[in-house]
Amino acid sequence: MYIIMLGAPGTGKGTIGNEICEKYNLTHLATGDIFRDEIKRETPLGKKANEYISKGELVPDEVTIAMVEGKLNEMKDVLLDGFPRTIAQAEALKEYLNKNNKNITAVINLNVPDEDIIKRTSSRVICSNKECGASYNTIFMPPKVEGICDKCGSPLIKRKDDNPETIKERLNVYYKNTQPLIDYYEKEGLLESIDINIYLENTKEVTTEKAIKIIDGRLN
Ligand code: ADP
Ligand code: ZN
């Protein structure tokens, strides 16, 4: 089973993706998390990726596609979070899945208004433990203990690219490169959109419930 999480930066792809992975026992493949880990370990891939990520730009397609295909080879049921982000990546994924006799169950598109994205992303903190990958928000979704991950107890950190200037650039990049994927997957009959109200107290639960209903509907 393959699920794709689509949506602008800071719409909750990772948070909702985590819940979906737990429910259906999927491997969470988050390209941003992988790049951040490579950057931290100062690998050649990390150094290359950092040139783009620090500016809010996309890592080049050929680098990203090769990296993702390498990972997919070792995985069975997968939730893709942050990939594909361009039409070229979507085409490469399609070819890969065809070759391996696999298909996409659903593309879950998360909709959040831009002004809410900027608000939410500026106050985001993430778990420093890469095996965990949990994400919190000091205003909207605080951890039980300040600065500490509820799930694994590791310290929470701020992402370098979660500052207002870089977020604006990431939104521009999203509209230019990634938004066309909404039409692309609509035409494939795979698109399922969820509108999110970030001011609800139980936004995460409500959104997760909707996503699960969608996936269950497509599995039957
Ligand atoms: P968000 O969705 O909040 O922007 P991610 O962690 O998914 O965060 O991505 C962070 C950054 O990593 C992106 O701004 C981009 O530079 C890079 N990146 C992640 N996934 C891809 C991808 N599929 N193609 C190109 N660049 C990517
Ligand atoms: Zn954690």
Domain residue spans in the chain?
Answer: 2-26+77-113+164-219
Catalytic residue among 36, 119, 120, 170: 170
Query: pLDDT 10s per residue in the chain (220 long)?
Result: 999 999 999 999 999 999 999 999 999 999 999 999 999 999 999 999 999 999 999 999 999 999 999 999 999 999 999 999 999 999 999 999 999 999 999 999 999 999 999 999 999 999 999 889 899 999 989 999 999 999 999 999 999 999 989 999 999 999 999 999 999 999 999 999 999 999 998 999 999 999 999 999 999 8
pTM reported for the whole predicted model: 0.93
Q: Is 13 a catalytic residue?
A: yes
pLDDT score recorded for residue 144: 97
Phi-psi category of residue 159: left, alpha or beta, with phi > 0 → left and psi -120 to 50 → alpha? beta
Cβ neighbours of residue 144 under 8 Å, at least 6 residues apart? 150
pLDDT score recorded for residue 66: 95
Per the listing, tokens 């500052």 go with 163
Three-class DSSP category at 124: strand
pLDDT score recorded for residue 1: 95
β-pair partners for 81: 5, 30
Strand locations in the chain (E): 2-7, 27-30, 78-81, 104-111, 124-127, 135-137, 156-157, 191-195
Query: Do residues 154 and 179 make contact, with C-beta atoms less than 8 angstroms apart?
Result: no
CA of 149 to the centre of ligand 2 (A): 5
Neighbours of ion ligand 2 (CB under 5 A): 127, 129, 132, 134, 149, 151-152, 154
Q: What does the alpha-carbon distance between residue 51 and residue 54 come to, in Å, rounded to a whole number? A: 6
CA nearest neighbour of 195 among 216, 179, 178, 210: 210
Domain 2-26+77-113+164-219 matching CATH 3.40.50.300: the answer reads yes
pLDDT score recorded for residue 156: 98
CA nearest neighbour of 91 among 200, 184, 199: 184
pLDDT score recorded for residue 220: 81
The number of the ligand nearest the C-alpha atom of 67 reads 1
CA of 185 to the centre of ligand 2 (A): 32
CA torsion 31-104-78-155 (nearest 10°) is 50
pLDDT score recorded for residue 101: 94
pLDDT score recorded for residue 193: 98
**Cα radius of gyration (the chain):** 16
Nearest-atom number in ligand 1 for the CA of 162 is: 3
Per the listing, tokens 């979660």 go with 162
Query: Do residues 123 and 139 make contact, with C-beta atoms less than 8 angstroms apart?
Result: yes
Q: What does the alpha-carbon distance between residue 37 and residue 200 come to, in Å, rounded to a whole number? A: 32
Which amino acid, one-letter code, is at 20? I
